[in-house]
Amino acid sequence: MQAFKKLQQLNKKRVLSTVWFVVALSWLAMFAVLFTTDGKSMHITAVTIAAIATELAVWCTAAVLGVAVVDGRKAIVSAIKNKLTGQRGLKD
């Protein structure tokens, strides 16, 4: 839960840009290794690293956007509750 609070404070666009930039670099490195080396073990290692980096980026993206979805749901539920109970929200 504490990790989600830290993600809320970070600039989400910057976090996602950085994560996917690292993925792009890992894919470029993978292609460089595939076309410049002959070792099968080097190819497997490069592909594995690129795949793991991509998978981590997908999960990181889900975590960052998931926090935004939870915040949005809280705002919607709060607005509905305030309408039903006649209370004024923070923006009114």
pTM recorded for the entire structure: 0.63
Position 26 pLDDT exceeds 90: yes
Per-residue confidence band for 36, with pLDDT thresholds at 50, 70 and 90: very high
Q: Is the pLDDT of residue 14 over 90?
A: no
Which 3 state secondary structure label does DSSP give 39?
coil
Residue 5 has what pLDDT?
67
Alpha helices in the chain (DSSP H): 2-9, 12-36, 40-85
Distance of alpha carbon 86 from alpha carbon 20, whole angstroms:
45
